[in-house]
Amino acid sequence: MSDSLDSRLRDSVYRWITDDPDPASREELTAALARAMGKEPGAIEEIADRMAGPLEFGTAGLRGPVRAGPNGMNVAVVTRTTAGVAAWLAAQGHAGGVVVIGRDARHGSEAFATAAAEVLTAAGFAVKVLPQPLPTPLLAFSVLHYGAVAGIQITASHNPPADNGYKLYDATGGQIVPPSDGEIERAIQSAPATRSIPRTPGAEVVDPREAYLAAVGALPRATTRELRIAATALHGVGAETLQAALSRAGFTDVHLVSEQSEPDADFPTVSFPNPEEPGATDLLLALASEVDADLAVALDPDADRCALGVRGPDGWRMLRGDETGVLLGAHLLSTTDNPDPLVATTIVSSSLLGEVAKEKGARYAETLTGFKWLVRAGEGLVFAYEEALGLCVNPSFVRDKDGIAAAVAGADLAATLKAEGRTLLDVLDDIATRHGVHLTDQVSLRVTDLSVRGRLMAALRSDPPATLGGVPVTLEDLLPDADVLRLSGDGVRVVVRPSGTEPKLKAYLQVVTPVTGGLADARRSATEVLDAVREEITALLR
């Protein structure tokens, strides 16, 4: 980078400032430009990064740091994005239809939701906005509940505190899929200057909570409700709705982690507000032990993901997403009244759900990663999950992952087992004994330069390993359908892909070992192979 500011870059910053309708963003970018023109260390690089956008609109919508400039989440970016969405909806024959808008409690969420609502109102849509920061599943529910042509949730889910995002649902109630994302991206590029985009207040405020809670409260099939639950919302928006949903379902002995129950956009007690991250659930597990809970529940900040914690022989621990997925999948297959049920998971999740489905005479599907594909897995879907703690136990009224409903279903299963003198870990042991030990793990490489991911994927394509964990493996390339590589052999499978929502390259590991003698021996053998595979994959991703 030059030690002086390029005149073309400077001029593009001036043009952005002139067109930005938000005084705070204009002031922020003006100050950043002044630092760059004053040659403060790192200031030119900062300006270049801010102007390196625009943020790309993909099937996950937008996600990025809250900051001024095209490569950030701000009112100007949201305004032009929504103008593009409005044009796309009109082109799809949905002009004048209902659009529902929700938000979480992150930095900027209220302003972004207001901008989106006003742009759509001015464009002639019947806009309904949720009354306060609420979980993403309530927005997904609202699309179907209000017969909307689209839904927008302002959220960055479990991303770091500096980020925010814009998630779009179509008229099916699910997240958009190709080619919609490309069509919307082109419509955004064709949108007029931000200050020329009309904005009109007056959206209708609606509250779907009662209808949603009534639906979720009807999910449990067991008769017993004797269960003590410890729970955390990780500083997000889920605590109130979670407690209300559990209560509606009959689970009233609920203890919340007080330090994490109120929304706080800075997430002060966790490094990353994601239940999967080390340390994120420490306060939850301490509370579970303190109150002698039967089940621990952790939601991510927008409450679409759910992690369950259990007490084992060595104390409390969180279940992996694959463990929770197979437990709830088996439970729902045992209780559904659908005569021809379908369960689904993704190509990076454990294959164990397929074995359980086969045992119960149910249909099973694997899709590409993301709930946008899972909810489109086929007719008769009763359950879907992905290993990253995404669980859908209620596809009939929320066509997306729903951490609130998953927590209710988890409590239903745990209470049923408690009445029988059994635990979730007992069920996992039973399933492993019948279908083999399925151990899964993940190796993630966080990058600052996204091009690193492409270079590593190219290297794996050109020179894949011949063995993993001592097992011969073959390479399957899922291009052009997806940028995914799958290495598989006898009892070993590794799937490698760039993350769609985070600056990471991810490898998903699975080892399967039949139980021919004792379960402990099979687990020990599987662990040894998994450790070897993890070590080899970690070396490959350096």
Which residues form the catalytic set?
Answer: 157
- Strands 342-346 and 98-103 come out as unpaired
Round to whole Å and give the CA distance between 367 and 505: 19
C-beta separation of 344 from 366 below 8 A: yes
Handedness of CA 130, 131, 136, 138 (dihedral sign): negative
Provide the b/e sequence for 187-198 (b: ≥16 CB within 10 Å).
Answer: bbeebeebeebe
Q: Is the peptide bond before 480 cis (omega within 30 degrees of 0)?
A: yes
Enumerate the β-bridge partners of residue 256. 231
Q: Is the peptide bond before 179 cis (omega within 30 degrees of 0)?
A: yes
Q: In degrees, to the nearest 5, what angle opens at C-alpha 294 toward C-alphas 291 and 295?
A: 100
- Angle between helical axes of 209-217 and 136-145 (0-180°, round to 10): 100
Round to whole Å and give the CA distance between 425 and 315: 12
C-beta separation of 153 from 136 below 8 A: yes
Round to whole Å and give the CA distance between 242 and 213: 9
The three-class DSSP label of residue 361 is: coil
Token code pair at residue 375? 């909810």
C-beta separation of 362 from 384 below 8 A: no
Backbone angles phi, psi at 540, to 5 degrees: -70, -30
- Quick one: which of 241, 314, 232, 240 has its CA closest to 270? 232
Token code pair at residue 74? 């701000």
Token code pair at residue 413? 């299963």
- Any idea how long the chain is? 542
Q: In degrees, to the nearest 5, what angle opens at C-alpha 348 toward C-alphas 342 and 352?
A: 55
Beta carbons within 10 angstroms of residue 218's beta carbon: 12
E strands, 368-491, are 381-386, 390-392, 437-446, 467-468, 471-472, 474-477, 485-489
Question: Which burial class, exposed, middle or buried, applies to 462 when counting CB atoms under 10 A from its CB (0-12, 13-18, 19+)?
Answer: exposed
Q: In degrees, to the nearest 5, what angle opens at C-alpha 445 toward C-alphas 265 and 483?
A: 100
Token code pair at residue 491? 């009892």
Enumerate the β-bridge partners of residue 487. 475, 494
Round to whole Å and give the CA distance between 32 and 16: 13
